[in-house]
Structure 1
Amino acid sequence: MGIRDQLGKDLAGLQAASAAGLQTVSAEVTDVTDEGTVHLRMMGADLYDVPCTDAYRNRKAGDIVAVRRGAVPVVLWRLGADPAETDQTTTEQIAVQASLDVQVVRAATYGTGAPAGSGWQQATEVHVRKVDGRLELYFKVASIADPSPGTPDVPVPKPVTIPPDDSGSWRNGRPDEYASAPTQGDWTGGGNRRGGWFYGSAIQNACAGKTVAKMQVKFTRRRGTGANARRPLHLYLHDHASPPSGQLDLDDGPEELLSLAVGATGTATLPASWRSQLASGAAKGLAIYASGSRDYLAVTGGRITITFSA
């Protein structure tokens, strides 16, 4: 074999090795973390805290993504249908909400004499009301010189997000000063923990006079608590407006609405019966509780987003 042939063979081998090192494979996102990384199920194995390029936006569990293999794998982009239609719908919804937030009066001026220009009508009475935080004006005129614009439909109240006033953990019937975040289960044999989030009367006040369509709560699982793999949150209702000095009582539950791996962030939709109790004030907040070490974990967050239908 000549020198030229050997050089060509060596270069081809280097190119093949380089291509193998940059091989891209598909994987499923199992969780999105509080740090913007993702957990993956790739080629039958679980990978934690995989970084992502800026091209991978709107990250969520269940996405199928392209991953560049290597010593440090990186998620390159999401695989699937063209997101243009979804993006258009989202943009239209934002635009509609923004238009509802804007006052419809173009200008407001005043003076000691009659206004200059044509088309003015003298109002003998002025009426005002507030709908969804925005003012509506009605002017009573002596005669109709120009047809009045129609009254728009009353908009559905905007969603509201309510953060907890306080949170904590309880162990052996009293507050647990050693747990800095709501915790469930027992890792060391010192007794099972239960955690709670407290909202005062904020949820009930936000729902007064409205029809609740959905309530969702967002949690993030703390790192360094229990096994890395996904574990369910055992959720309960409670009736405490603020942290009790004794035991944290547990009411309806448990419901396993959400499972999180270490560092992961997720959102749970509360059952209809739960949102009714929270809206009426019969229940005041949320709690977690588990027995033993299998589902031991600590959770932060607890922000409740309420969506209304009327």
Structure 2
Amino acid sequence: MADPLGGEAERLAAALTAGGQSGDVVSLQVADVTESGRVNLQLGDGSLLMEVACPDSYRNRAAGDWVAVRLSSVPVVLWRLGDDPAITDAEDLQKAATQAAQDVQVVRAATYGTGAPSGTGWQAATAVYVRKVDDKIEIYFQVPDASDPSPSTPGVPTPKPVTVSPTASGSWRAGRPDDYASTPVQGDWTGRGNRRGAWFYGSAIQSACAGKTVSGMKVQFTRKAGAGVNAKRPLHLYLHNYGSPPSGQLNLGDGPEDLLRLSAGAKGTATLPKNWVTALASGSAKGLAIYASGSSDYMAVTGGQITITFS
């Protein structure tokens, strides 16, 4: 197996060759963001500078970013290069504020007493009705004379996204569960046979989608360091139809779809195709799998959390 955490001197030498001398600040592109929140950087010779630390001010890190990097015995990202993020930050804040407002039941005051309320504008209710919409309570008061017109009922907000985590995962080789792989693996590194890995969700995906209009699904994966080559390689994704791990062979469904490429230690998110979304939402497919042949795309993968959005 490759050693993505070792070889710092060789990678630094490559960085110096690509950009400058020790202590210089150079511009490099982010290949991937790792599970630790650090970044893998693309060097001029095609190799990677692995697990480079970043300042707290570098937020919303993503593959493809250009960053300023100080070269030293311990390289470090100084800042991201690009447009002023103020507009994007403002949009994100607005979305968060809107969601928070939708999550809160707002009544200006709730008081009571043995007599009629003081002040103007009160109307006596002859009946009270309640219902639940999108897990929120709506109250309707029937009045004999609506002298002060009622405010309009707000529209029902779009259901919030739901994230479904796997209930189990594993790898299969030679038609049976592979006791030597603790996480899903694709490919073959040792010549003992190709592995296929999978994530299982029971009926949680179908339950989360019941009665709602699904607009999309995204799945998050992290490629483990120390398995296969450091460079970016594709995940070969498939559907499967198991609610829980089978005792025999794991049969693959639709696929492969190469929706995501990750370098060693990197995390990323893949958007599932529409026909896969339909299959998972309806229950005609139950989960996700990976499979590759040979050592070229060999990797071990964790994660598998599926985020479902609605319209």
* TM more than 0.5: yes
Q: 1:233 and 1:108 mapped to 2: Cα distance? A: 56
Counterpart for residue 47 of structure 1: 49
**Is 1:55–1:76's contact at 8 Å kept on the other side of the alignment?**
no
Q: 2:48 and 2:136 mapped to 1: Cα distance? A: 50
Deviation readout 1:104-144 (Å, 9 max, x if unpaired):
32333445554454433222222222222211111111111
Q: 1:114 and 1:182 mapped to 2: Cα distance? A: 67
Deviation readout 1:247-268 (Å, 9 max, x if unpaired):
1111000000001111100000
Counterpart for residue 184 of structure 2: 182
1:281 aligns with one of 280, 283, 295? 283
Counterpart for residue 10 of structure 2: none
Q: 2:169 and 2:129 mapped to 1: Cα distance? A: 45
Report how many residues are paired. 291
SS in 2 for 1:256: strand
Q: 1:21 and 1:286 mapped to 2: Cα distance? A: 45
Question: What stretches of structure 2 of length at least 5 have no aligned partner?
Answer: 1-19
Where relative contact order (Cα < 8 A, 6+ residues apart) is larger, the structure is: 2
Question: What stretches of structure 1 of length at least 5 have no aligned partner?
Answer: 1-18
Structure 1 residue 57 corresponds to structure 2 residue 59: yes
Counterpart for residue 161 of structure 1: 163
> After the TM superposition, which residues 75-224 of structure 1 pair with which residues of structure 2 at under 5 Å, given as runs?
75-111=77-113, 113-224=115-226
**Is 1:221–1:260's contact at 8 Å kept on the other side of the alignment?**
yes
Structure 1 residue 24 corresponds to structure 2 residue 50: no
Q: 1:202 and 1:116 mapped to 2: Cα distance? A: 52
Change (3 A) 1:194 1:21: closer
**Is 1:34–1:265's contact at 8 Å kept on the other side of the alignment?**
yes
How far apart are residue 273 of structure 1 and its match? 0.4
**Is 2:48–2:230's contact at 8 Å kept on the other side of the alignment?**
no
Deviation readout 1:240-285 (Å, 9 max, x if unpaired):
1111111111100000000111110000000000001011111111
How far apart are residue 22 of structure 1 and its match? 2.6
How far apart are residue 206 of structure 1 and its match? 1.1
Counterpart for residue 306 of structure 1: 308
Superposition RMSD in Å: 1.6
Q: 1:104 and 1:123 mapped to 2: Cα distance? A: 20
Deviation readout 1:174-195 (Å, 9 max, x if unpaired):
1112111011111112221111
TM-score, reference length from structure 1: 0.90
**Is 1:196–1:288's contact at 8 Å kept on the other side of the alignment?**
yes
How far apart are residue 27 of structure 1 and its match? 0.5
Deviation readout 1:60-116 (Å, 9 max, x if unpaired):
000000011122211110001111111111111111111111103233344555445
Deviation readout 1:187-235 (Å, 9 max, x if unpaired):
1122211111111111111111211111100000111111111111110
TM-score, reference length from structure 2: 0.89
